[in-house]
Structure 1
């Protein structure tokens, strides 16, 4: 399916070529109406559709690698209340701090143990 953003340009090409083909047919200009129709409908319109096609990702799951940005997006869309946003943000930042300190200390096992303890506390 062609996204809505490219449809007006394609529709314009189709309407203009149809109008030009009809005008040249009325003026009896030989094969020109067929050439205009073929070029407009079977060359320009498909090329325009390909060049203006974009994927906005609305049907794809959010591929956002940053969990804080994902959380902010959900809050902005109204999926989370302010208190739930704050709670989840604190938890995320806490987890990131623990991971960073574990990497800095070279002690990844301790960070994993702390995360497991936090999960048990909830």
Structure 2
């Protein structure tokens, strides 16, 4: 979604992008490579106007959500396993077998982040 024309940032981005783009074309026309930078500035402004900034933010949010969901899933599985063992639905051998399977699929960063969270919870 592109910014609205009444947005103050748009009021700055539009003229700066146009001026930078035109200045870059003039500089390239004179034979200097200094025109590349203003053209890039103009292109970034055009991407902003086309809603590129929001698309990047959405992409970053999606990646963060996917990473969090994966951590939550493994934590949920471990919690469920512990609850089933506590209720007596599975015996000790089954609990150990399933726990080992869960731990084999975890990465080092998963374990480290969970340990960091536990330390923060204990310190509060």
TM-score, length-normalised on structure 2? 0.30
Greater radius of gyration (CA): 1
Structure with greater helix share of residues: 2
